[in-house]
Amino acid sequence: MSKRRTLNVDFGKAICYSGFRAGQQPGGIVPSYEEINEDLLIIQKNWKYIRLYDCDKHAERVLQVIKNEKINIKVMLGAYIVAEMNNFGCPWGGFFSEEELMKNKEKNIHQIEKLIVLANSYSEIIFSLSAGNEACVDWTDHYVPEDSVIKYVRMIKDGAKQPVTFCENYVPWITKLKRLAEEVDFISIHTYPVWEYKNIHEALSYTQQNYNAVAEAYPHKLVIITEAGWATNSNGRGILPDNVSEENQMVYYNDLMDWAKKDKKIIFVFEAFDEPWKGSSEPLEPEKHWGLYKVDRTPKLVMKNN
């Protein structure tokens, strides 16, 4: 185990950013330089930190725009690692041939290597690195065993100087990722009360319970929240339609920010902009509706009042 590095950043508001607009998606059409610049000029008015999920062309352009346009935003950059094992507990997939799993392992190595290159190329902008995203939780469609994630964390630490984490739902940190927790420099958790059928009046206290459960399990580790948010629409699959609205999103966001400010916690809100490419073809699929701004970049209620 390598020496622990400190996440040495000032307190500030943080948000998850993925800039794919109508007709764009990962692996397809990528937002242009000008579109990303427009997004970042919106974001910098309220947020100091953004989180990027992978090292694709979109992420490269974001880093280029921040550097070239001298935008005052710092980045948590992630590697998006894909399935190295079948996960029969995933309700919507997660099954691969042995050949696909072998190719995925090669893809993951390349993704980690790319993360290291970008971390070193943009060291003044990138303040932390993540070895993956929701790859160990029971329901994931891109399951990666803990041993592999540990290997990737060590690779990143050997190749880059920024502190390293792994972004995951709060449950696996409590139940099964104890060895990984000792390898990362800080722990990053995701908490979504609305996915667990909590109403808006229970939301903040439930988020705090999730946070405290992980923090108490690792009292020697810094814990931050890298995803917490409230959807504004639902087709009823997994989220009750009556439980989501722009009003509820505003309440949860304001409660999160009050808590973050009071306790000087880093909380990455999920997310900046709606992403219509996500989920099914149904327009009210909840995955499409987590943005604080709509896909056309007009503000939802929360940002009209902040």
- CATH number for the domain that contains residue 122: 3.20.20.80
pLDDT on residue 1? 56
What is the sign of the dihedral through the CA atoms of 243, 260, 7 and 185?
A: negative
For the chain, where are the E strands, in sequence order? 14-16, 49-52, 74-78, 126-133, 164-169, 187-190, 223-228, 267-269
How far apart CA 240 and CA 223 sit, in angstroms, is: 30
pLDDT on residue 8? 84
Confirm whether 263 is domain-assigned: no
Structurally, the chain folds into a number of domains equal to: 1
Confirm whether 81 is domain-assigned: yes
Confirm whether 248 is domain-assigned: no
pLDDT on residue 192? 98
φ and ψ at residue 44, rounded to 5 degrees: -65, -15
**Domain membership of residue 142 as a residue range:** 30-190
pTM attached to this predicted model? 0.97
pLDDT on residue 306? 82
Confirm whether 279 is domain-assigned: no
Confirm whether 77 is domain-assigned: yes
- pLDDT tens digits, 38-74: 999 999 999 999 999 999 999 999 999 999 999 999 9
Query: What 3-state DSSP class applies to 109?
Result: helix
Give me the residues of the chain with pLDDT under 50, please. none
pLDDT on residue 280? 87
Confirm whether 229 is domain-assigned: no
How far apart CA 247 and CA 138 sit, in angstroms, is: 31
**Amino acid type, 190:** H
Confirm whether 249 is domain-assigned: no
**CA dihedral defined by 230, 233, 236, 237, rounded to 10 degrees?**
-60
- Do residues 200 and 252 make contact, with C-beta atoms less than 8 angstroms apart? yes
pLDDT on residue 184? 98
pLDDT on residue 2? 60
Question: How far is CA 220 from each of CA 182, 186, 265, rounded to the nearest angstrom?
Answer: 10, 10, 16
- Do residues 250 and 302 make contact, with C-beta atoms less than 8 angstroms apart? yes
φ and ψ at residue 154, rounded to 5 degrees: -65, -40
Strand pairing class (223-228; 267-269): parallel
